[in-house]
Chain A
Amino acid sequence: GAVVSQHPSRVICKSGTSVKIECRSLDFQATTMFWYRQFPKKSLMLMATSNEGSKATYEQGVEKDKFLINHASLTLSTLTVTSAHPEDSSFYICSADSGNYEQYFGPGTRLTVT
């Protein structure tokens, strides 16, 4: 149990375009989902906390207008990187809160902006 999926696993886009990443909890409902970013050989950096039916809470330094988060249902959260630039290239990982303080992570999405 406690499986989280992400789609796509890899995406390449041109500078200036927008990219949407989906995060789904497959076998449980998640009121809260989280979006992380990970740079090579670095630990995970929390970007935002996504709560179903309400606005996301962004960490300091994360541009909310650039990284749009929507948590429309208890099993789906989306992260849209708007007007992407090469510096947005990274590994994006989502997680879902199972309800007992445990977070289960998705497999990640590798974004490359050319």
Chain B
Amino acid sequence: EDQVTQSPEALRLQEGESSSLNCSYTVSGLRGLFWYRQDPGKGPEFLFTLYSAGEEKEKERLKATLTKKESFLHITAPKPEDSATYLCAVRGGSQGNLIFGKGTKLSVKP
């Protein structure tokens, strides 16, 4: 069964304290792994797509990496405005729908 597990569920950081969010997945025929950011009361905002193991992508303070079993979202020197829920999703399997993890709620304190 296709599955996505994100950890930790919640993460509290001080401003400037770098850390990583984990997304472990099992899927047949991966067609892409996606990271989204979601603020309260809003739809998910697209961040990255990773298609194959070894691929990395960066955007400002965020860097996403992918292996055959998991993906990491590295946050370097986070700022309070980085506080949000980060969602990981994979697309694969016979139907190709997005399968979401439960998200990691990140709080960055000044």
Q: Give the interface of A toward B (CB within 8 A).
A: 2, 4, 6, 34, 42-44, 46, 49, 91, 93, 95, 100-108, 110
CB distance from B70 to the nearest CB of A (A): 18
Contact A46 B97 (CB under 8 A): yes
Q: Give the interface of B toward A (CB within 8 A).
A: 31-32, 34, 36, 41-46, 49, 87, 91, 96-98, 100-103
Residues from chain A with Cβ under 8 Å of B87 in the complex: 43-44
CB distance from B43 to the nearest CB of A (A): 4
Contact B97 A105 (CB under 8 A): no
A49, A91, A107 — which one has the most chain B CB atoms within 10 A of its CB? A107
Residues from chain A with Cβ under 8 Å of B36 in the complex: 105
From B48, which residue of chain A is reached at the shortest CB distance? Answer: A102
From B46, which residue of chain A is reached at the shortest CB distance? Answer: A104
Contact B97 A102 (CB under 8 A): no
Contact A43 B101 (CB under 8 A): yes
Contact A43 B98 (CB under 8 A): no
A43 to B97, CA, bound (A): 15
Q: Which of B32, B44, B49, B101 contacts A105 (CB 8 A)?
A: B44
Q: Pull 13 A–B residue pairs with CB atoms less than 8 Å apart, ordered by A.
A: A2-B46, A6-B43, A34-B98, A43-B101, A44-B87, A49-B97, A93-B44, A95-B98, A102-B34, A102-B49, A103-B98, A107-B42, A107-B43
